[in-house]
Structure 1
Amino acid sequence: MQEKTRAPRNRTISLSNEEIPELKGRLVSPDAVNATAPESFLNRTINADLMEALPRLPDEFADLIIIDPPYNLTRNFNGLHFNARSEEAYDEYLASWFPQVCKKLKPTGSLYICGDWKCTSALQRAVQKELTILNRITWQREKGRGAKSNWKNGMEDIWFAVKNPDYYYFDLEAVKIRRRVIAPYKQGGEPKDWKETESGNFRDTCPSNFWDDISVPFWSMPENTDHPTQKPEKLYAKLILASSRPGDMVFDPFLGSGTASVVAKKLGRHWCGVELNEEYAMLAEKRLALADSDTSIQGYSDGVFWERNTNNLIKATNAKNRP
């Protein structure tokens, strides 16, 4: 593999020729996965086609499944091409694997699946055949190209579904957002529903299904890779904290460069991911190794999610709380 030359300030994670043999050795082949031997898939990256790996994984082993499948767009995933197709053909594509993935979810588990405006209706149709949909999250994707004859695509969706709508886990307190209070209101001389700090006035608010605090990874962020559709760690941290407990199993059948596994590790969960492309799978393993010494998640600190562009305030809070 030819190493890329990058600018000194570019923090994009890449693979060196020296580390490839070790990272490749950490990957699991589908033949090595044994449904009766959890150590064969627990906290592992399975380098395989999804349909090869699924029959080897036990049913109902995952507490949380996060899926970022190919959208109905023509994309080059490091030499593996996915071509846009008709709506009917994309429905058939989802039907070829989604029901099998749902079998891996525990009866009390939750599932999130990502999409854009073009494929979100197909995702809804696929999900509601297997699970109960509880919500559709829309998050602001501020990065993207403009268009002369159309609106710039600045949003993506995440469908939230469960097997049992009467019994599933959701931790509201774990995903509150800390927002700056512009017009502080006091009652009896005391702040009402907000806190006065040296760094400013803040209120911890309940999360809605519209998220405007996410930054898409780019070259100056230490989580960035060359994967063309990499999801932000902060985005997945919300899903994992809301819908899993420490020690739970998080499964991603389209792992890409490893965001779901990495965030699961940083937040004290177990993980399992399937990724067809060997280079992306190795990137996931490198990021997992880096998480041994750095568990930080951009935009998440002090047990809350912060608004976008509040890094200096987060640093000040961390410095104040440091022993």
Structure 2
Amino acid sequence: MRSKRNKTIDFTLEEASPELLSQIIHPTDNLQTISNKIINGDSFKVMTQLAPHQVDLALIDPPYNLNKQYDGLNFKKMSTSQYQTYTQKWIDLLKPLLKENASIYVFSDWATSMALAPILEKNFTIQNRITWQREKGRGSQKNWKNGMEDIWFLTANPSDYTFNVDQVKQRRQVVAPYRQDGVAKDWQATKNGNFRDTMPSNFWDDISIPYWSMPENTGHPTQKPEKLLAKIILASSNPNDFIFDPFAGSGSSLVTAAKLNRRYLGIEQSLLYCAWGQYRLNQVKDDPSIQGYTDGVFWERNTLAVQRKIKRQQRASDE
């Protein structure tokens, strides 16, 4: 029997309401003017039906080059050359959809990155490679535990792109506060503790994977955290910009985009994953919060109690 604290979204299609399923778009519909929707279909076919030059930010989380099952659909590991051909195929379909100043983020594990890098470099400008310390994965007796993933930051134009650095600062607790002439040096003393808002780096150690007690958690095997996607969306897009995800999974990128007042469109081949994503999108109006993102900054792990205290104080001041 499931614990009352377990908030995982993993209902079956039989348990999904007809109203929920009717909100999901299918490729038979006119897709030229579609936004703020999930499309259930094959991305390689659907992308040919979308309007060109509309995407400000593309979030690409394709199957890594591993043997993996997604709702009964198997992705089989390919040779490096085969996976590069697969990658070039979706890139060729994505490019016509991008605006001239669009940004693209591509997710991968370390092994897949070696195949991706030359193809990404050939098609886009590589601005950076982010390392996400996801702290999950089984240990190994003969190798190091795989606790990191790569996120490639790419742009269509090498010099014209959006990057809002002030919107993605990280708030860290100050353990040894330094004062100069009695005044706090590069940190703030508050009634909730001493903190420093630091500039973002390409090493992200403040983001946990979704787990069973989090409202965003689903039964998807490779779900990305809303906090991670919020960093990307805030940095590389502006309100009302168009966010596109051709491998949408359980809709995390779309939900995060909706919470941050962006337009969005996602494609996902599993109807079950689409249903989970649509269910989450329907909850955004009632709960637009993103765990780990409070007071306009991103917080370190294990600071949820302080974040909740700040939210209570903000609600009290608004009343």
- 1:19 maps to 2:16: yes
Equivalent residue number for residue 147 of structure 2: 154
Which string of whole-angstrom CA distances, capped at 9 and with x for unpartnered residues, describes residues 15-47 of structure 1? 364533222111111121332xx2xx2101110
- 1:10 maps to 2:6: yes
Q: Distance in 1 between matches of 2:247 and 2:17?
A: 21
Root-mean-square deviation (CA), in Å? 1.1
- Asked if the contact 2:16/2:275 (under 8 Å) is kept, the reply is no
Determine which of 297, 304, 308 is the counterpart of 1:311. Answer: 304
Equivalent residue number for residue 118 of structure 2: 125
Q: Distance in 2 between matches of 1:265 and 1:90?
A: 32
Q: Distance in 1 between matches of 2:163 and 2:36?
A: 23
Q: Distance in 1 between matches of 2:94 and 2:121?
A: 14
Letter in 2 for 1:258: G
Shift of the alpha carbon at 1:9? Answer: 2.0
Task: Identify the range of structure 1 (88-97 vs 242-251) with the bigger mean alpha-carbon deviation.
Answer: 88-97
Shift of the alpha carbon at 1:103? Answer: 2.1
Determine which of 191, 215, 220 is the counterpart of 1:222. Answer: 215
- 1:297 maps to 2:290: yes
- Asked if the contact 2:247/2:267 (under 8 Å) is kept, the reply is yes
Q: Distance in 2 between matches of 1:300 and 1:224?
A: 16
- 1:172 maps to 2:165: yes
Letter in 2 for 1:315: R
Determine which of 110, 124, 139 is the counterpart of 2:132. Answer: 139
- Asked if the contact 1:20/1:282 (under 8 Å) is kept, the reply is no
Shift of the alpha carbon at 1:219? Answer: 0.8
Q: Distance in 1 between matches of 2:223 and 2:107?
A: 12
Shift of the alpha carbon at 1:100? Answer: 1.3
Task: Identify the range of structure 1 (128-137 vs 233-242) with the bigger mean alpha-carbon deviation.
Answer: 128-137
Equivalent residue number for residue 73 of structure 2: 80
Determine which of 261, 268, 271 is the counterpart of 1:275. Answer: 268
Q: Distance in 1 between matches of 2:243 and 2:4?
A: 35
Instruction: Give the share of equivalent positions with the same residue, in percent.
Output: 50
- 1:34 maps to 2:31: yes
Q: Distance in 1 between matches of 2:272 and 2:103?
A: 29
Equivalent residue number for residue 234 of structure 2: 241
Task: Identify the range of structure 1 (284-293 vs 5-14) with the bigger mean alpha-carbon deviation.
Answer: 5-14
Equivalent residue number for residue 57 of structure 1: 50
Letter in 2 for 1:96: K
Letter in 2 for 1:98: I
Q: TM-score, normalised by structure 1?
A: 0.95
Determine which of 253, 259, 262 is the counterpart of 2:255. Answer: 262
- Asked if the contact 1:98/1:126 (under 8 Å) is kept, the reply is no
Equivalent residue number for residue 82 of structure 2: 89
